[in-house]
Amino acid sequence: MHALVLEYLSEQDEPVIVENLMDFIIEATAHDDGQLFKIYEKHFEQVTGTNQRNRYRSYNNASS
C-alpha cells in the first residue's frame, strides 16, 4: 500500500485529493498485470528502508 501511495504522489501535479487517491488504488489493484510489482520495485527502498543490492544478497544467502 505504501508503494501505491508513493506512486500516486509522484504522478500528481495538482493538490492531492483523497478521493483521487482511492480511485488510483482501486484502478491499480483491479487486475494483476505485473504493474503492482513494478510500482513496489520502483519504491522498494522508501517502503522497506533497504536497497535492492542488500535485498538480493539477503535472499541469496537465505536460499543457499
CA distances from 15 to 19, 36, 58 (A): 12, 24, 39
Q: Are 43 and 6 a contacting pair, CB within 8 Å?
A: yes
**Which of 47, 25, 46 shows the shortest CA–CA distance to 36?**
25
Each residue's pLDDT tens digit, 11-54: 888 887 888 888 888 888 888 788 888 888 888 888 888 776 55
pLDDT exceeds cutoff 60 at 5: yes
Q: What is the pTM of this model?
A: 0.52
The residue ranking higher by pLDDT, 59 or 40, is 40
pLDDT for 39? 86
Confidence bin at 62 (pLDDT 50/70/90): low
CB contact burial 23-35 (16+ within 10 A = b; e otherwise): ebeeeeeeeeeee
pLDDT for 63? 54
Q: How far apart are CA 20 and CA 39, in angstroms?
A: 18
